[in-house]
């Protein structure tokens, strides 16, 4: 990574795409700064560095901090070149050791996370509030279970975005899906019990034919009459120039409910990613609050923005 670092800040590469950041101040402050970037998917505190013994049991005994809060989630990541310990096995051993100390753990999301990142010669251990890790998945690697009913892999991209951004669409709500073909987002939302108006010049998968709750408007989103709405959720994965796609998202703003959420894909198309994000963000902010822009695990040559309709601009 070629960068001019401030005094007192150091970066060391632990593995491809994984860096150890040493900096003064609190982890909470560094996490907040990293959360405003696009391409950092995950960070975790590294309170201790522990040399690796050959025995996993000895490592667990050595690695665990003396004091930990109850109800922790344990997250383990083994980096390339690290020991051949299955992450799940190591995480289970850590949870068992914590239970032996009278500290219960949880298998799913929790208020606090104990993070263990195991490298070639040592491991880094730390714990803190889950929200400061920027992602609920170790390393930001969202390995979501494939639904046999999914129309395309984009369904998992939308699922990742909803989980990461804390968007929880409810059955019976109305969603507008721009750039819907072949129907990955649409099928996922229908499966959640939403009513969906899907818009695209291309066709939807035949598997969605006659799907309850689906209205398909085949045509160009930038020129068609606006559907009546109102919509509680906007999704837009348009394979257009990203500024034109942003203008299209603004066009449908009057059909959204006040403070409706949106998931908007910013395509790079070979341009400078950060410059593209900045330009598109300025355009979207003419009608939306841009709450975050992140490069998701399931993104390919793109980033995903979390939008919220500006109160008074929608409806």
| Last residue in a domain, options 112, 140, 168 | 140
Residue 146 lies in a domain: no
CATH code of 162's domain: 3.40.50.150
* ∠ Cα 41 164 214 (to 5°): 130
Query: 220 and 134 in one domain?
Result: no
Say what the pLDDT of residue 1 is. Answer: 47
Give the residue numbers spanning the domain of 299. Answer: 154-309
Output the pTM of the full model.
0.90
**Looking at 267, 295, 298, 306, which residue is catalytic?**
267
- Whether 157 sits among the annotated catalytic residues: the reply is no
Q: What residues have CB less than 8 Å from 105, skipping those under 6 apart?
A: 71, 72, 73, 74, 95, 98, 99
Residues 66 and 190 in one domain: no
pLDDT for position 9: 84
Query: Would 103 be classed as within a structural domain?
Result: yes
pLDDT per residue as tens, the chain (315 positions): 445 566 778 999 999 999 999 988 899 999 999 999 999 999 999 999 999 998 999 999 999 988 888 888 999 999 999 999 999 999 999 999 998 888 878 877 789 999 999 999 999 999 999 999 999 999 999 989 888 888 999 999 999 999 999 999 999 999 999 999 999 999 999 999 999 999 999 999 999 999 999 999 999 999 999 999 899 999 999 999 999 999 999 999 999 999 999 999 999 998 899 999 999 999 999 999 999 999 999 999 999 999 999 866 655
- Residue at 145 is within a domain: no
Q: What is the CATH number of the domain that holds 115?
A: 3.30.2130.30
Same domain for 61 and 132, yes or no, is yes
Q: Is residue 67 part of a domain?
A: yes
Question: Is 315 part of any domain?
Answer: no
Q: How many domains does the chain have?
A: 2
Same domain, 29 and 73: yes
Does 224 share its domain with 104?
A: no
**Shared domain check, 242 and 198:** yes
> Could you give the angle at the alpha carbon of 136 between the alpha carbons of 175 and 169, nearest 5°?
15
Q: Which residues pair with 217 in a beta bridge?
A: 199
Q: 276 in helix, strand or coil? A: helix
Instruction: Indicate the Cα dihedral angle 181, 183, 184, 189, nearest 10°.
Output: 130
């Amino acid at each position: 990574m070629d960068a001019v670092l401030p005094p007192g800040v150091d970066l060391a590469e632990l593995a491809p795409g994984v860096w150890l950041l040493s900096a003064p101040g609190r982890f909470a402050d560094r996490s907040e700064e990293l959360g405003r970037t696009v391409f950092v998917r995950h960070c975790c505190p590294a309170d201790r560095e522990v040399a690796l013994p050959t025995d996993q049991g000895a490592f667990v005994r050595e690695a665990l901090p003396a004091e930990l809060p109850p109800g922790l989630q344990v997250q383990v990541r083994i980096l390339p070149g690290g020991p051949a310990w299955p992450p799940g096995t190591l995480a289970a051993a850590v949870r068992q050791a914590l239970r032996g100390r009278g500290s219960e753990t949880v298998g799913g999301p929790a208020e606090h996370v104990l993070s263990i990142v195991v490298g070639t010669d040592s491991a880094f251990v730390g714990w803190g509030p889950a929200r400061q890790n920027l992602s609920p998945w170790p390393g930001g690697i969202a390995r979501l279970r494939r639904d046999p009913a999914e129309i395309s892999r984009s369904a998992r991209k939308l699922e990742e975005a909803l989980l990461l951004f804390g968007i929880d669409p409810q059955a019976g709500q109305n969603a507008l899906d721009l750039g819907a073909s072949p129907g990955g987002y649409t099928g996922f939302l229908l499966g959640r019990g939403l009513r969906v108006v899907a818009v695209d010049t291309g066709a939807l998968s035949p598997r969605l034919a006659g799907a309850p709750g689906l209205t398909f408007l085949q045509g160009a989103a930038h020129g068609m009459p606006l559907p009546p709405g109102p919509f509680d959720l906007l999704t837009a994965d348009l394979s257009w120039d990203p500024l034109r796609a942003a203008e299209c998202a603004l066009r449908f703003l009057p059909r959204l409910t006040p403070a409706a959420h949106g998931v908007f894909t910013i395509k790079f198309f070979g341009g400078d990613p950060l410059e593209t994000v900045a330009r598109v963000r300025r355009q979207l902010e003419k009608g939306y609050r841009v709450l975050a822009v992140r490069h998701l695990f399931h993104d390919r040559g793109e980033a995903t923005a979390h939008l919220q309709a500006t109160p008074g601009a929608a409806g």
